[in-house]
Amino acid sequence: MAVWRPAPDDQPAGARGGGSRPRPAVARSRPSAAPAAQAAGAGGPLLGRSRSTLAPWQRRLACMAACTAPGVLARMGGLHLPPPLAMLVFGGAVMAAAFVLGAAAEVAELDAPPGIAVAGVAFVAVLPEYTIEVFFAFTGHVEFVTASLTGSTRLLLSCAVGMPAIAAAILSRRGTVSPRVVDLAPQRRLDLAVISAASLYAPVIILRGHLAWPDALVLLGLYALYMRRLGGGAPEEPHLVGIAAQLGALPRRDRLRWVGGLMAFSAVTVLITAEPFAQAVMASGTAAGLSPYLLVQWLVPLATETPELVVAFVLVQHARPGQAVAVLLSSAVSQWTFALGTLPLAYLAGAGDGPLPLLPNERIELLLTAGQGLMAVAVLVSLRLQRSDAIVMLMMFALQLAIPNVVVRTLLAVAYLAMAVDLLTSERPAVRWLARALRSTPDPAESSGAR
């Protein structure tokens, strides 16, 4: 994920004193920082200020924070809500906190060292789903342990490949022409290499029928390698939109205070409300005669991944479809390596005393996820995404949603794998670049010449 740090003096001179009266602008200050800081009240706190004195982006943050209050208060007060109401209250809190987390995490890339920023942003991106997944593993709910993980990973991969087609369908109604081909940056080969490595390792887990600590070493090792390679790459300026753009325009001292406070607030909210949200989803599904597994697999990811999907769509609207794909790929990497690798450790630390068992339907779900991961890699390995490929990926994703049958999922997994092998065979030179991306940090100039 892109990381950029401004120069130490790349801020208004008056901002260095915190709340002191700003001095006249200097030539080296950022043009948009001073007006944004003045409009926001120099980044002052929200408490104790009337609504009329808040900047628009501060009012939006206040509204999102208010949406978390019912869930937090209900959990802290020990209220017993009916499952449908609990799902709405706690799910709303998780979703609102995820939006705040997403905005703050993007802005954190401006000030933190590259490696720390990448690690922090990647962890924050999967925190809502990760909390729920660890809860199921820790408490021994083996029948749900991979539900949210497989659902969120497949959702991210499908949208990463299919986002150009989705955006084209929506933008065409507004009279806006979208590109039929999306070019990706050479650095995306690292994301694709890690996804392919994890997908190729997944059959080992499936054949054994359980997740154990050696699997955690492999998957977490892949994630650590990913973070090392990504953190060692050349920094680039992130494209901030909406609330993130307003936060990024603040003076550095105020920006750090805002980002730290928002991330702490959101992380605590997620930790408080994620577990009752998962319980409410299961109880609601049971009461309605629906499959709790499918609800956890699709409802939870839709709630927690919404911020990233919105950011990706906004990037497409701003003529940056390649970066939209990159955002979703990076989150998929975190789910498919970091989250999956920590599940057996959470199980050992909680209810389990050995490997984390996988039920037959969970093994099919993992196989389908691995097949879809390899298919996404095969489509993107040339770093050119065709709209026709995006449509095919979306159609196959819609089929697995419409027919949640074990036989259909097995056939889809086989179809994904067969198509992936066929595409990768025809793109053998590009596949060699994936292996090279894992061994060393790719040289952008050299990589671009191999496209």
Provide the mean pLDDT of the chain.
79
C-alpha 310/C-alpha 139 separation (Å) is 32
- Would 403 be classed as within a structural domain? yes
pLDDT at 301: 82
Q: Report whether 107 contacts 255 (CB < 8 A).
A: yes
pLDDT, tens digit, 9 for 90 and up, residues 178-193: 667 888 888 889 999 9
Q: Where are the beta strands (DSSP E) in 125-219?
A: 181-183, 210-211
**Which residue range is the domain that position 339 belongs to?**
55-443
CATH number assigned to the domain comprising residue 89:
1.20.1420.30
First to last CA, the chain: 20
- Would 17 be classed as within a structural domain? no
- Would 11 be classed as within a structural domain? no
pLDDT at 110: 78
- Would 414 be classed as within a structural domain? yes
Sequential pLDDT tens for the chain (451 residues): 443 434 444 444 344 344 444 444 433 334 344 444 444 444 444 544 555 577 888 888 889 889 999 999 999 998 889 988 998 999 888 888 878 877 777 787 777 665 556 566 666 667 777 888 888 899 888 888 888 899 999 999 999 898 777 777 766 766 666 667 888 888 889 999 999 999 999 999 999 999 999 999 999 999 988 888 876 555 556 667 778 788 888 888 888 888 888 888 988 888 888 888 888 888 888 788 778 888 888 887 877 777 677 777 767 776 777 878 888 888 899 899 999 999 999 999 888 788 999 999 899 999 999 999 999 999 999 998 888 888 899 999 999 988 888 899 999 999 999 999 999 998 888 888 888 888 765 544 444 444 4
- Would 66 be classed as within a structural domain? yes
Residue 245 tokens read as 């753009």
- Would 20 be classed as within a structural domain? no
| Amino acid in the structure at residue 245 | A
Number of domains within the chain: 1
Answer left, alpha or beta for residue 251, where phi above 0 means left and psi between -120 and 50 means alpha: beta
- Would 10 be classed as within a structural domain? no
- Would 407 be classed as within a structural domain? yes
